[in-house]
Chain A
Amino acid sequence: MRADLDLETIVSELYSPLYRFAFALTRNETQAGDLTQETFLILTRQQAQVRDVTKIKSWLFTTLRREFLRGLRSQSSHPEVELKPEHQDLLVSDSAVSQTIDAGTVLEVLAKIEESYRMVLELFYLADLSYKEIAVTLDIPIGTVMSRLSRGKEQLRTLLAKTEPPNKNLPRPR
């Protein structure tokens, strides 16, 4: 029997990682906030359909990603409002840049990684999902998650080593 969802507790525990994930996808503070709000609103409307409370986290990240992709499709069907990557960067507010200058560097590096690897890395680092939860969220086999995490981290390490000044304490690529 499904216990009733304590939405307020779920919000307080998960709104920050969801926002970070949304920010990594949109690179825009306002859009990330809207996407996070929309995701929780969908949970409120569809909570009766959530059968397993332990999978709420994966469900939320899956929903957020789906909403982001829906928004992208909607933008591409309206080319006059299409946002190109360089324009998206300009939309990041000053406050977001100053707050996330280091995070911004990591996000820039992540953006250079092949999408199939990047998605897995973002869920691992930003959402703190386990490999099993990532598999559910992206609907891919567990073995694929592990393989993409491994290769994605290799790419990340190499790219960060090129970006970071040598005195930073990131491990060097081998």
Chain B
Amino acid sequence: MNSDAAKEILSAYRSEDRDGADPIFREAFTQLENDAELKKWFEEQIDLDRSVQQKLAGIEPPADLQAKILARIRGEKVRRSVFALPPAWLAVAACLVLGGLALLYSTHRGGPDRFQEFKTDALAMVLLRRVDPSSIWKRRT
């Protein structure tokens, strides 16, 4: 591995605790021990990284951002849980509704036909007004 290749690899190095176990850096670190210029370059690189990261860490999120995110996540979970009923429950609910409607319809049909009664009564009233009452009397007798 030449110096430029080692620089390219070491540019991706963050810190011992995060990247120390990654074998890709081992060979580059070996190169460091034998190359004083590369070692100096790497130290400066680490200084640059530390300095830039410290400055960028100054970007603070708004104080209420975490609470806002958590509130929206909880809201979304509730909304989803309402619409995410298991299919078995939906099937049972649908059966109950359809069964109830069928029962209601059959009961209604089996009972007195109120509309038919109403129609008969209404027709009778109209006919009574148009027909001479004496003729009705005669018809009945």
| Residue positions of A touching B, CB distance < 8 A | 7-8, 11-12, 15-16, 19-20, 23-24, 29, 33, 36-37, 40-41, 44-45, 99-103, 105-107, 124-126, 128, 130-131, 145-147, 149-150, 153, 156-157, 160, 169-171, 174
Report the bound CA distance from A33 to B64 in whole Å. 10
Q: Which of A44, A45, A105 touches B55 (beta carbons < 8 Å)?
A: A105
Instruction: Assign chain B's interface to a size class.
Output: 35 or more
Report the bound CA distance from A112 to B37 in whole Å. 29
Report the bound CA distance from A60 to B18 in whole Å. 19
Query: Does B65 lie within 8 Å of A40, measured CB to CB?
Result: no
B11 contacts which chain A residues (CB < 8 A)? 146, 149-150, 153
Query: Does B58 lie within 8 Å of A99, measured CB to CB?
Result: yes
Report the bound CA distance from A105 to B58 in whole Å. 11
Report the bound CA distance from A101 to B55 in whole Å. 9
Report the bound CA distance from A16 to B59 in whole Å. 9
Query: Does A174 lie within 8 Å of B58, measured CB to CB?
Result: no
9 smallest CB-CB distances across A and B, nearest first, come from: A171-B44, A131-B12, A150-B11, A19-B61, A103-B58, A149-B11, A102-B55, A150-B8, A20-B59
Report the bound CA distance from A169 to B60 in whole Å. 23
B7 within 8 A of A: yes
B66 contacts which chain A residues (CB < 8 A)? 11-12, 15
Report the bound CA distance from A40 to B41 in whole Å. 39
B76 within 8 A of A: yes
A147 contacts which chain B residues (CB < 8 A)? 8
Report the bound CA distance from A145 to B37 in whole Å. 24
B69 within 8 A of A: yes
- Mostly, the A contact residues are helix
Q: Which of B14, B51, B72 touches A41 (beta carbons < 8 Å)?
A: B72
| Residue positions of B touching A, CB distance < 8 A | 7-9, 11-12, 14, 18-19, 22, 41, 44-45, 47-49, 51-53, 55-62, 65-66, 68-70, 72-73, 76-77, 80
B47 contacts which chain A residues (CB < 8 A)? 169-171
In this complex, what residue of A is CB-closest to B64?
Answer: A33
Q: Which of B14, B45, B58 touches A128 (beta carbons < 8 Å)?
A: B14
Query: Does A45 lie within 8 Å of B69, measured CB to CB?
Result: no
Q: Which of B8, B61, B70 touches A36 (beta carbons < 8 Å)?
A: B61
Report the bound CA distance from A45 to B83 in whole Å. 13
B60 contacts which chain A residues (CB < 8 A)? 99-100
B59 contacts which chain A residues (CB < 8 A)? 19-20, 23-24, 99-100, 103, 126
